[in-house]
Chains A and B, each alone.
Chain A
């Protein structure tokens, strides 16, 4: 086995890459990270991406005594969250913001000081207010402050610079069919839509794998490795990586426990119930993440999506039976609650103390409702932070207001907290990775908001070349 230590390997790559100039590695390695494994933590960070631009003003509307309530009521009618009667918003301790009534489990976590909200959060970019979902998602996930840079995601840069030990079975997972852009370029991540489906079992049973009763039988699953034994091209190396991922997860039973049908399956602890009314895939994937965390495979990062939140038409509201948005909220609330309970009550102790969840969306939605009982693309939004090491029970950040004069370009909630500030705080205080300016080239001026517990580290990785943002190749 190779004796090269990871840091030497990286340095070697860095030198060669700078010499080579324009390869994708060159851009990733211009600011070589230098933090040793002993300093990093083995916390897990879960990024929940609400695809399609979640309406933060409906998830966290101004409450009855909020100074913004009047402007909110003037702008919203068919999508309004009332403060009394059927479908009334849930009051939150210590703030005039309120919570969508179908997020009662999130309210419980908030009252236990484990959940925090950040208002007026979003992407503050040199060209403001990207209205395209694809562009906004790409900007956020690549993390170059705009554009796709060299197509390497911010989480990939965190994993490279975050002091992973030399051997980690499963550093990251991306839940979905196609790799999340934030993990693009990473060889540390497995991408899968369903952990229990992620296995090679298409062959006839008689010849698929090792059979204890048939000595010497070498099945197709093993022989696949002989087909994909090179690294000569992108396709070959992808195949090798895929087979390695499949091998890694093969022995694990990701199905839900059932006394007769699946006695070896996974049993959530603490009474956690992953059976949710809508978007069951989301809950199943959260359950997979919890199981992987409990298995101690070293997973530092998981990405998961919940969408679509793109409610241009017929958003609904909680005072009536048609409440499309509320259905999505209930999925977020019930799913995250099950996840929290499951990990907090694990046999190995409260694993939520070393697990943090950040919920983000590409932008918010316009304050003024549209003529189709929906909302259009906006700007500032709400982020969530959930975990045992989160200073919850508070709403962080602020907005200038919801009156026309206080809105960005007269139409949108302003962005007063850069999303990178929240994520960077998690990277520093939870993951002990100070290389936030390497993770987010072009970002500067970080200070913690206090959302996460943990020691502060001076942020590093700032590179003169990226002082004004990352240009990227071509």
Chain B
């Protein structure tokens, strides 16, 4: 067993190896070692999230970045027209966005229609018989999830109901379903359309039951197969651990949890009907909940695969023959025997109004908008509103108002970062992309949709692709790993290089018409590096922070000076005058440097 040779000779031989390997890069080789003098191996996680020295964009840019799928100049102009000052404008903007039906979305709808999706409006029964039943054609079988993925991205990029799409994304993470599950995938549009979207700004209790009854969630967590003889614990456990009270309210394995001593230890509260319920859940609650939900299934999902009680295949049905009718105790509440489906109804009521659920949900919602460490005051405030309005049809709207009008939301910055999908979507929004994603079955053409989905997958953030029910993480530590950040930095410049129809074929127009937009913005005699890159900083970031602005200007100007007029029409070899060397490509590259800046990835 050799000892690690730390001798000077060893280090010198390594230096020679790396000089040979890295000579073309021209960087001093010891800086290319991950472990080097002064680096002790521990990432410093206590670095400030948002120190005073950090560049701060103006308030509207910050708020729009945090509350939409990406800041755009147009969004800012629309915002500015809403009132006499930023606070008044923001109040009007939030109110408007919380009423999505009042927002004209014809542009997005036209684009969706042009994509030619065929599965998104199919009923659960149609999805079941026309896709779930297909076993010899994987493309047809999985077309529903494929189209739903594309349609969701189109909405994120183009919908005017931006806050709504932000919250659709939140709820899909919260009730995370692996969209490409063999059974759940063909049913996915029903999950998105009927279980999630109608309740996004509505009522959590309603969403909770709708999600539980959805085939996609049933398959994700095996509820469809749960029956009295063999109750399935999977959904019951995640219902507590993820969907409602959260793992932080897990009390462990406790014998006799409803004893006076243990009720005191675990905490309890008085429910609206006067019953005492525990504040923490224990394993027995999971088992009893599994029993309570037996019989909740999908018509046709279990042998002999015939419709149950006349309910069409693929739809939710309560099958009393599979239900455990015995008495149960959940969170110390007594469930009498033979209550059938009411067991589950009462259970969902309990969980939706429970203070631990309010606390858990408040924490998640605050972290999405405010960043990793929202104050306890804000969380408690949000939890209080969440709990008190648990029966209100506008419960989530009320909660959103509290968060979006909070000082923490309005004054904070840099406490979070864009996850890869958001960085890509916001890049496409800010640069005015023309991108109608749609699936295709042509193996020989590599479409931009395929490339986009593949690159999101490589960055670890493809939509509906997280395999576990806990959803994609929502914290900076996870998304700032070298792998995901590296693949994001690899992906973003490609967005300006990708072509319509066939991604690498320059016979087709670009997804983003950089050239056209730049020429239209300035008459020829004003096209200098300073003005052009200033324009694109304004488009993408809303301001011109350093060093990003200067790096972009330097990239574009090369040996010219920042105020020299550039000929943006050229795009050919000119090694003798770099300011004329592949200028159009250089312009796209300079803009992609803005996309690759920390300011763009900051929230």
Which A residues have a C-beta under 8 Å from some C-beta of B?
1-6, 9-10, 13, 23-25, 28, 37-43, 127-129, 131-135, 151-152, 156, 159-160, 163-172, 174, 176-179, 184-194, 197-204, 206-208, 210, 213-217, 220, 222-224, 226-229, 231-239, 241-248, 250-252, 296, 298, 307-308, 312-313, 354, 370-372, 376, 389, 430, 432, 454-455
Contacts and interface: CB of A to CB of B under 8 A. Distances in A.
Nearest to A206: B582
Contact of A187 (B6, B42, B417): B42
Given A9-B40, A38-B4, A238 B480 contact: yes
A208 B592 CA distance: 11
B1 A227 contact: no
A235 B601 CA distance: 8
Interface in B16-72: 17-18, 21-22, 24-27, 30-51, 53-54
Contacts of A42: 2, 4
Given A28-B42, A217-B581, 17 more contacts: A41-B1, A166-B37, A167-B14, A167-B37, A168-B33, A170-B34, A185-B42, A185-B45, A186-B42, A189-B34, A192-B486, A220-B493, A228-B597, A228-B598, A234-B45, A238-B485, A251-B25
Nearest to A43: B1
Interface stretch (B138-146, B387-395, B468-476, B534-542): B468-476
Contact of B234 (A13, A231, A312): A312
Contacts of B582: 204, 206-207
B34 A248 contact: yes
Given A200-B489, A232-B48, A40 B37 contact: no
A223 B593 contact: yes
Contacts of A28: 42
Nearest to B178: A308
B210 interface: no
A426 to B, nearest CB: 12
Most buried by A among B31, B459, B555, B598: B598
B39 A187 contact: yes
Most buried by A among B17, B31, B596: B596
Contacts of B548: 227
B51 A233 contact: yes
B481 interface: yes
A165 B7 CA distance: 9
User: Main SS of the interface on chain A?
Assistant: loop
Most buried by A among B40, B585, B601: B40
Nearest to A135: B247
24 contacts: A4-B38, A131-B237, A165-B11, A166-B36, A167-B35, A177-B483, A185-B42, A191-B481, A192-B482, A202-B493, A202-B497, A203-B497, A204-B588, A210-B24, A224-B489, A227-B547, A227-B598, A232-B48, A232-B53, A233-B49, A233-B50, A233-B54, A354-B2, A432-B3
Given A178-B460, A200-B489, A210-B26, A193 B483 contact: yes
Interface of B: 1-6, 10-11, 14, 17-18, 21-22, 24-27, 30-51, 53-54, 222, 225, 229-230, 232-234, 237, 241, 247, 252-253, 283, 414, 417, 458-461, 467-468, 470, 473, 476-487, 489-494, 497, 547-548, 551, 554-555, 575, 578, 581-582, 585-586, 588-589, 592-593, 596-598, 601-602
B4 A376 contact: no
A54 B479 CA distance: 28
A42 B50 CA distance: 39
A235 B480 contact: yes
Given A134-B470, A177-B484, A246-B486, A39 B11 contact: no
Nearest to B483: A191
Contacts of A159: 41
A389 B252 CA distance: 41
